[in-house]
Amino acid sequence: MKNKILIVCLTLTFLISLVNFLSSQQEIVLTIREGVPAISVALPPFVAESTSAMAREAAETIHQVLADDLKYSRVFTLIPKEHLSYIRPLDPKQIFFKDWESIQARILVVGEITESAGKIVLEARVFDVKSEKLILGKRYQAGPSVYRLVAHRLADELMKIYGEKPFFTSKIVFVSNRDGNDELYMMDYDGANQTRLTFNKWRDYMPAWSPDQRAIVFTSYRASNPDLYLLYPYEGKLVPVSTKGTNFSGAFSPDGKKLAFCSTRDGNAEIYVANADGSNIRRITFNSAIDTAPSWSPTGREIAFTSDRTGTPQIYIMDAEGGNVRKVSFGGDYLDSPVWSPDGERIVFVSRVNNFFDLYILNLKTNKITKLTESNARNESPSWSPDGRHIIFSSNMSGTIQIYSIDYDGTNLKCLTSVGENKLPNWTN
């Protein structure tokens, strides 16, 4: 990641069984990381130049969503609201930068809302406080249904100013039974706008986005067999990929040109690679063990996967063509669902210890393993945020299976779903 990080390691003492899990690797540590320094943002209330209810609602909604985005980012920190009372009220036409510098604001975000043709217009300006210069100006016209999207887009622009990967307009695809059957849904990164994507009486599972967020690869029983399909949600198009044997765990390569997946089409659970449209299917693992859960490295040159070829499911890495296979995990009786981080330095995976399923992060450079969750629950199906600072996963920690978000250091746990059971999330990168 591009932000500079201070690493403060707190070594915790775990149960004997957990230590045995790491008998061949370094001791598990819980790593606490804080941004140094986070960019301080003054975000005074947006000014609604019209007194209409629409203008007031837009000003409040966009301001609140933008504030939530910036707080979640770990790149920015908001100047507390109470500090704004120490300075004179904001006049967008005449900004006294020394006021904002006095409360240690590095940047100032100013928003003005007007109305035009039944819609609102947001004029957003971002200033560098010290230099007193405008560093971003954006104008958005929107109706009530997209107020949140406007805020997310503005937050993305702020991320790009500082060389960070924007993700606030990204989507999460997942499986839910809220309407009586396991179907595909998608939602915003923060759990808003949950929308059903598939409508059938058969079960749909294991969705994964394409890099351009135009297609979803998933497993479906709609033909009475677990087949692999491509869904183009914005085009309403469905394309079969692999319909021979059992097919699951589809994953797009980083460039979107290839698919990796697991299939029993030749009799055993092996990993295959195909073109993104499902053509040119070729097998890349060859053994009597179960090989599954492929995850591409950010370069597309390697694939992490799960295999029980040594007796218990463990994490392996191989070249994208199937060669140079090596084991990267040791110990434990069940490790699964490896997912490569966007920076290529870490793999998050699931491990069962004392009948509890938790998430762990393997640092490929140091060989250290960090335990991410600790909830005496079944925590599974991890997926990284596009910027690598957050992870989503499914868990029954609340009694029913729901989707949660957690930061890479184990902080800031949030539940994103609540209706029905929700699982198998995938965050587009």
Any domain includes 22: no
Residue 228 DSSP SS3 = strand
Tell me if 243 is assigned to some domain. yes
Domain edge (last residue) among 137, 161, 185: 161
Same domain? 250 vs 352: yes
Do β-strands 107-116 and 39-42 pair in parallel, antiparallel, or remain unpaired? parallel
Percent of the chain with pLDDT over 70: 91
pLDDT given for residue 40 in this prediction: 97
Alpha carbons 326 and 319: distance in angstroms, whole number: 10
Check residues 262 and 356 and name the one with the higher pLDDT.
262
pLDDT at residue 84, rounded to an integer: 85
When mean pLDDT is compared over 3-17, 27-41, 74-88, 173-187, the highest value belongs to: 173-187
Whether residue 112 sits in one domain with residue 47: yes
pLDDT of 87:
85
pLDDT of residue 354: 83
Statement: residue 170 has pLDDT above 60: yes
What does pTM read for this prediction?
0.89
Asked if residue 175 and residue 154 are part of one domain, the reply reads: no
What mean pLDDT is predicted for residues 184-212? 96
- Burial pattern 259-274, b for ≥16 Cβ within 10 A else e, equals bbbbbebeebbbbbbb
Assess whether pLDDT exceeds 60 at residue 34: no
Q: Are residues 254 and 402 located together in one domain of the fold?
A: yes
User: Does position 272 have pLDDT exceeding 60, yes or no?
Assistant: yes
Q: Are residues 157 and 188 in the same domain?
A: no
Given a contact cutoff of 8 angstroms between Cβ atoms, the answer to whether 33 and 8 are in contact is: yes
Q: Is residue 415 part of a domain?
A: yes
11 lies in a domain? no
* Low-confidence winner among 35-44, 121-130, 133-142, 275-284 (lowest mean pLDDT): 35-44
pLDDT > 90 fraction of the chain, expressed in percent and rounded: 81
Last residue of a domain, one of 161, 181, 211: 161
Taking 70 as the threshold, does the pLDDT of residue 12 lie above it? no
| pLDDT computed for residue 3 by the predictor | 38
The domain that holds 244 is classified in CATH as 2.120.10.30
The pLDDT value recorded for residue 111 is 95
Which of 111-120, 256-265, 393-402, 416-425 shows the lowest mean pLDDT across its residues? Answer: 111-120
Nearest to 64 by CA among 74, 83, 78, 54: 78
- How far apart (Å, rounded) are the C-alpha atoms in residues 287 and 261? 16
C-alpha distances (whole Å) from 81 to each of 77, 84, 86, 103, 110 are 12, 5, 10, 11, 15
Average pLDDT over residues 415-425: 98
Q: What pLDDT does residue 57 have?
A: 94
Which has more confidence, 190 or 118? 190
Of residues 314 and 375, more confidently modeled: 314
Q: Is the pLDDT of residue 191 over 80?
A: yes
The predicted pLDDT at position 38 comes to: 92
Task: Work out the pLDDT band at 235, boundaries 50, 70, 90.
Answer: very high
70 vs 56: CA distance, rounded Å? 21
pLDDT of the residue at 24: 38
In a domain, residue 267? The reply is yes
User: Which of 14-23, 183-192, 279-288 has the weakest average pLDDT?
Assistant: 14-23
Average pLDDT over residues 127-135: 96
User: Residue 341 is which amino acid?
Assistant: S
Do residues 143 and 288 share a domain? no
Residue range 324-374, pLDDT digits in tens: 999 998 777 899 999 999 999 999 999 998 888 999 999 999 999 999 998
How far apart are alpha carbons 23 and 74 in whole angstroms?
34
Residue 93 or residue 222, greater confidence: 222
Question: Measuring CA to CA, which residue among 260, 226, 396 is closest to residue 338?
Answer: 260
Evaluate if residue 178 carries a pLDDT over 70: yes
Neighbours of 211 (CB within 10 A): 17
Residue 288 Cα distances to 193, 228, 321, 336, angstroms? 44, 22, 19, 18
Which domain range does residue 219 map to? 171-427
Same domain, 146 and 202: no
The per-residue pLDDT for 297 is 98
Q: Looking at the structure, do residues 196 and 231 belong to the same domain, yes or no?
A: yes
Q: Could you tell me if residue 214 is inside a domain?
A: yes
Q: Is 258 in the same domain as 139?
A: no
Residue 31 lies in a domain: no
Check whether 21 has a pLDDT greater than 80. no
Specify whether 91 is located in the same domain as 212: no
DSSP assignment of 324-385 equals S-EE---S-S-EEEEEE-TTSSEEEEEEEETTEEEEEEEETTT--EEE---SSSBEEEEEE-
Name the band, by pLDDT with cuts 50, 70 and 90, for residue 51: confident
* Res 89: pLDDT: 79
Q: What is the dihedral sign for C-alpha 337, 225, 227, 402?
A: negative
Do both 178 and 148 map to the same domain?
A: no
Averaged pLDDT of the chain = 90
Number of domains in the chain: 2
Whichever domain contains 130, its CATH number is 3.40.50.10070
Of 161, 195, 224, which one is at a domain's C-terminal end?
A: 161
Q: Is residue 380 part of a domain?
A: yes
Judge if 152 and 194 occupy the same domain: no
